[in-house]
Chain A
Amino acid sequence: MAAADTPSASTLRRRDLCSRGIRLARKMRSDVADLLDIYVERQGLDASVSVAAVEGVPAAAVEHWSEQTGTQRLLDNLAAYRAFRALLAQMLEEQREQLGDADAALGRALAAVLLQVSAFAYHLEELLELESRRPPGDDGDGPPAPPRLSLFEQKLRGLGVLRELAQWAVRSMRDLRQLARPSPGPSSAPGTAEGQ
């Protein structure tokens, strides 16, 4: 009985990774919120402007979230953060082209968030390996190159990217919390909540 109550090394490792992942995601969310404020101000945008869904930007919105398996959560998260890594790199490049060194603050903030996104993606790969799943290959090319956008369209797209990233940070915290809960098996859906 005592042995059955003692969590396995794998379980402990998973909980540890999930806890660290939640802390990473929380920090990332806080920094993305600050970056959004800087971005809106520097780009001369209205913070309340609605941005339509943009191709290539992974949407955090999901139906039947509570019914997802742990593996599915990790795969969805990993795909999203790999995409964000490429999108943020692109935004950084565009920002340097447009403003050069004139706006170092925005550039630094973008770079800091990009670093956190990369770190989080790596963290998710570790978790997937713990789930006995080999992370899908990362071709490193990111999403296909978008059509040439006007400067204003680039700015709006950037706003959409940061907003979705902020949502993903919250979703990731929830996903990792679900993953950390005791479950019958590594690929089952732990604790479905009614209606979601």
Chain B
Amino acid sequence: MWWSLKELIAPEPVQKQPVVAWGRAGSGGEEGAKLTDLSSEGWPVASTQKDPTDFDEKLGTSPGVWTGGEMANPVPSACCVVLAAVVVVYAQRHSQQDSHIQYERVGADVTMKCGSMDWDAAVTWTANGTDIDDSHLNGSYLILKNVDLTQSGQYSCYEGSSWHLKYQTYLRVGTPPKEPVLMCRSNNYPKGFYCSWHLPSPTYIPNSFNISVIHGTREMVCEKDIFPKNRCHIRYLQLFSTVKYKVTLTVTNALGKNSTSLTFDEFAIVKPDPPESVVAKPVPNNPRRLEVAWQNPSSWPDPESFPLKFFLRYRPLILDQWQHVELSDGTSHTITDAYAGKEYIIQVAAKDNDIGTWSDWSVAVHATPWTEEPKHLTTEAQITETTSTSTSSFVPPPTTKICDKGAVVGSGAVAVCWTAGLVLAAYGVLFI
């Protein structure tokens, strides 16, 4: 059996009084025509049901006006009362949560009043749903001393025994902003430049940023990037100007504001992105050469009109000292003094030919110069090993390498050779 919504929400017999139809078109509820489940009389229905006009006809009232008639079934009525109550409470809480946020500084003492309740009213305070001990109360006021970040949350005040919600606020503990850090740079000269910023330490509450760019008497628009959010970019309206740019950033939150400024000229902030696609390869049959090639950074818009020069640095992994080469044109270079067989690390940086500063170093690449394939060892390996059967004298086996200063490199190797020789000699003496 199905009931219309109106039947379900009428728990008691209603007096014989006309009731304005809910959602019925032409009966004060114009929006009823928009409902998709209207019955023929305009009542929203869950499914098939008794036609409300049956009741209307029975009671003699006009169609679409419901008078209630006899008592409704109590079980579904109670469910809907509870449901309605939950909806109301949720709406109340939700609207209050959205409407009242309280910001306080770390270390502050906070006093909360329970709405319009008198000081001596009996109330209960909760923090995030947990009852707050009476020791924090002064009458009906909640006192929080020396608040810290962990005390941020939803605070609610309920009247004594009725548990009516009387006040609710969302406490957010934070700090006013410190002086922001601002940086401006042109990596796409001559198109424009960008400025980015951040706070040196978090405030723990929402901040808003406002940036202004002045060039002489002209205020320029800094278009905010979608990502990252803390960046905006400015298009140059003029080039080659001696007039400096002044950029001012102001950060504001509920607890205070702070600002910083930068003043610079057009050329000083030009800094390209690092070169891209750096590749280093050995040169066949050249044990001391490495060929390095790279590309202009893709963010540099017009390398033909605004050519870049490059700085290349390289070193073998086993050494700390870099070699440097500055290249005024071209995007490749051949290293000709590499140590044979040693792995190298290579990086490249870029700079506008005439103005600005060097880019950061590119991603490092590794390469080892060409080496000849090692030949097979033949001479010593083919010598037949002879062993001495005579005990009258000690003859070291042919495979033993006699230490020769000219044949070894490094004093350590010489010491090992002589030690081995002495051991063998001692061994031989034992068997004489």
A164 partner residues in chain B, CB cutoff 8 A: 242
Pairwise interchain contact A191-B301, C-beta atoms closer than 8 A:
no
Closest residue of chain A to B239 (Cβ to Cβ) is A65
Which residues of A approach B to under 8 Å, CB–CB?
A: 26, 29, 50, 59-63, 65-66, 160, 163-164, 167-168, 170-171, 173-174, 177-178, 181, 191, 193-196
Main secondary structure of the interface of A (DSSP, over half): helix
B377 located at the interface, meaning its Cβ lies under 8 Å from any Cβ of chain A in the complex: no
**Contacts of B302 on A, CB cut-off 8 Å?**
191, 193
Minimum Cβ distance to chain B for residue A25 (Å):
9
Chain A residues with CB under 8 A of B354: 26, 29, 170, 173-174
Once bound together, how far apart are the Cα atoms of A61 and B215, in whole Å? 12
Given contacts A177-B305, A196-B190, contact A170 B240 (CB under 8 A): yes
Q: Are A191's CB and B304's CB within 8 A?
A: yes
* CB-defined A-B contacts under 8 Å, sample of 6: A59-B241, A60-B242, A167-B241, A174-B354, A181-B304, A193-B305
In the complex, residue of chain B having the shortest beta-carbon distance to the beta carbon of A190: B305
Would you call B240 and A60 a contact (CB within 8 A)? yes
User: For the complex, what is the distance from the CA of A187 to the CA of B382, rounded to whole Å?
Assistant: 81
With A170-B354, A173-B354, A193-B305 known, 19 other A-B pairs at CB within 8 A are A26-B354, A50-B244, A59-B241, A60-B242, A61-B239, A61-B240, A61-B241, A62-B240, A65-B239, A170-B267, A171-B239, A173-B353, A178-B305, A181-B304, A191-B304, A194-B191, A195-B190, A196-B191, A196-B239
Give bound CA distance, A163 to B242, whole Å.
7
**Which residues of A are found within 8 Å of B301, using beta-carbon distances?**
193-194
Residues of chain B within 8 A (CB-CB) of A195 are: 190-192, 235-236
Determine whether the beta carbon of B244 is less than 8 Å from that of A65. no
Question: Given A177-B305, A181-B304: A60 and B267 within 8 A (CB)?
Answer: no
Answer whether residue B421 sits at the interface, using C-beta atoms and an 8 A cutoff: no
Beta-carbon contact of A63 and B237 below 8 Å: yes
Q: List, in ascending order, chain A residues with CB within 8 A of B235's CB.
A: 195
Instruction: Tell me which of A29, A194, A196 has the highest count of chain B C-beta atoms within 10 A of its own C-beta.
Output: A196
Asked whether, in the complex, the Cβ of B242 is within 8 Å of the Cβ of A61, the reply is yes
Q: Please, what's the 1-or-0 string for B280-308, where 1 marks a CB less than 8 Å from any CB in chain A?
A: 00000000000000000000011011110
The answer to whether A177 touches B242 (Cβ under 8 A) is no
Does B355 sit within 8 A of A, measured CB to CB?
Answer: yes
A181 touches B267 (CB 8 A): no
Q: Could you tell me the distance between the alpha carbons of A177 and B353 in the complex, rounded to whole angstroms?
A: 12
Q: Which residues of A contact B236 (CB under 8 A)?
A: 195-196
10 closest A-B pairs by beta carbon, nearest first, are A61-B241, A60-B240, A171-B240, A193-B302, A61-B238, A65-B239, A195-B191, A196-B190, A167-B240, A163-B242
Q: How far is the CB of B207 from chain A (nearest CB, A)?
A: 31
Give chain A residues whose Cβ lies under 8 Å from the Cβ of B355.
Answer: 170
Closest partner residue, chain A, to B190 (CB atom): A196
Which among A163, A164, A193 has the greatest number of chain B C-beta atoms within 10 A?
A193
Q: How far is the CA of A193 from the CA of B238 in the complex (A)?
A: 13
B85 interface residue per 8 A CB criterion: no
Chain A residues with CB under 8 Å of B244's CB are 50
Answer whether residue B46 sits at the interface, using C-beta atoms and an 8 A cutoff: no
Central interface residue in B239, B241, B267, by most chain A CB within 10 Å: B239
Q: Nearest A residue to B244 by beta-carbon distance?
A: A50
Q: Which residues of B contact A66 (CB under 8 A)?
A: 190, 305
| B243 nearest in chain A by CB position | A61
Residues in chain B near residue A174, CB distance under 8 A: 240, 305-306, 354
CA distance A65 to B239 in the complex (A): 7
Q: How many angstroms between the C-alpha atoms of A98 and B244 in the bound complex?
A: 31
CB-based nearest A residue for B302: A193
A164 to B265, CA, bound (A): 13
- A63-B238 in contact given A193-B190, A193-B191, A196-B191 (Cβ < 8 Å): yes
Give Cα distance in the complex from A33 to B243, angstroms.
17
A178 to B304, CA, bound (A): 8
Q: Which one of B192, B238, B267 lies within 8 Å of A62 (CB-CB)?
A: B238
List B contacts of A196 (CB < 8 A). 190-191, 236, 239
Question: 8 Å CB contacts to A: which residues of B169-190?
Answer: 190
Query: Are B242 and A167 in contact, CB atoms less than 8 angstroms apart?
Result: yes
CA distance A127 to B244 in the complex (A): 32
A59 to B240, CA, bound (A): 9
**0/1 string, B223-239, CB within 8 A of A gives 1:** 00000000000011111
